[in-house]
Amino acid sequence: MKGLKTVFIVIIGLLCLTGCGEKKLTCTYEENDSGVKTNQKIEMKFKDDKVTAIKMSIDSKATDEEAKSSWNMVTSLLEAAYEEVDEEGLKVTFKNDEKNYSYNLTFDVDLAKVKEENLEKYDLDSIVDSTSSLEEVKKSAEEDGFTCK
């Protein structure tokens, strides 16, 4: 009987941890336009049905000669628009592989730690005030062409 109580307590604890704890939503999007193939991946963590963290990665690669010929101009514009940052709650990285005509832009945001001015700078401030649930965010992303799980 004592062993059964222990098993019951463990099961209840696991259910509470998985049902009451942090949840994760991952959405991806792929596009091939004007000679550039782009893959986006957004991972969002939710606690109490509110977004707590976001990691967004955008990978692009030139797939035709026209896009390759303007690659340096495009990537220099991106580098100017998105400076690399590594502060508490926010990390922005930009990796340009000129040889293979590809780049990666990554945002890693912990909404509990990031400074308000950085949220505004990268147009993320609406996420903090959002009342959208995980299911609402998923539905909206899928309506925009993302695949979510």
pLDDT one digit per residue (tens) for the chain, 149 residues: 444 333 334 333 333 444 457 899 999 999 999 999 999 999 999 998 888 999 999 999 999 999 999 999 988 888 888 888 899 999 999 999 999 999 999 999 999 899 888 888 877 777 766 778 899 999 999 999 999 99
Q: Could you please state the CATH topology (level 3) that the domain comprising 23-148 is classified under.
A: YehR-like fold (3.30.1830)
Domain limits of the chain?
23-148
Per-residue pLDDT at 1: 43
Per-residue pLDDT at 129: 67
Per-residue pLDDT at 31: 96
Per-residue pLDDT at 20: 56
Residue range 12-53, pLDDT digits in tens = 333 344 445 789 999 999 999 999 999 999 999 999 888 899
Closest C-alpha among 35, 40, 104 to residue 75:
104
Per-residue pLDDT at 79: 84
Closest C-alpha among 134, 110, 149, 129 to residue 49:
134
